[in-house]
């Protein structure tokens, strides 16, 4: 969630009636979910929706879960035209390297250093999540 808590935690603010409200920024940047504005219209992953497996128009790229990959998608380019893209595909992100390092430090018992690198990822401008002061096993 936006406040850094898991949806199951007390005080997370999660609302089952509005499951996409107040999620962390990475959720909105990475995932297509039902009702999200994408390519100038609402993404319709519900059963029978335009982007669902039951659609007679766009079912070639449908997801059985109702969620799809938004990351690396250029909203300005039509998805059904084979024009290619100049969109870069990131193989390793700096955040991934920091998280791998944090995990290794944590497993070695260096929890302070693990927390430092975890908080570097959480403090990025695009994420801006609260820092973690205590790591739990």
Query: H/E element holding 94?
Result: helix 94-107
66: left (phi over 0), alpha (psi -120 to 50) or beta: left
- Mean pLDDT check: name the lowest of 1-5, 67-71, 79-83, 106-110: 79-83
Three-state DSSP at 57 gives coil
- Mean pLDDT check: name the lowest of 44-53, 91-100, 112-121: 44-53
CB-count exposure of residue 134 (10 Å: 0-12, 13-18, 19+): exposed
Q: What is the mean pLDDT of the chain?
A: 83
Indicate the domain borders of the chain: 1-83, 90-137
Residue 45 and residue 52 in contact, taking contact as beta carbons nearer than 8 Å: yes
The pLDDT tens digits of the residues spanning 79-97 come to: 555 455 566 666 788 889 9
pTM, two decimals, is: 0.59
Residue 8 and residue 1 in contact, taking contact as beta carbons nearer than 8 Å: no
Check residue 101 and give its pLDDT: 97
Three-state DSSP at 117 gives helix
Kindly tell me if the per-residue pLDDT of 72 is higher than 60: yes
């Amino acid at each position: 969630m936006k406040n850094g808590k898991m949806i199951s935690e007390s005080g997370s603010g999660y609302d089952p009636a509005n499951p996409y409200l107040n999620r962390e920024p990475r959720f909105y940047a990475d995932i297509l979910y039902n009702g999200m504005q994408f390519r100038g219209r609402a993404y319709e992953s519900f059963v029978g929706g335009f982007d669902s497996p039951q659609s007679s128009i766009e079912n070639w790229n449908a997801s059985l879960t109702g969620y799809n990959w938004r990351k690396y998608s250029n909203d300005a380019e039509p998805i059904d035209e084979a024009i290619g893209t100049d969109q870069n595909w990131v193989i390793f992100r700096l955040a991934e390297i920091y998280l791998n390092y944090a995990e290794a430090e944590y497993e070695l018992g260096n929890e302070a250093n693990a927390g430092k690198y975890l908080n570097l990822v959480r403090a990025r401008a695009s994420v801006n999540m609260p820092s973690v002061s205590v790591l739990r096993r």
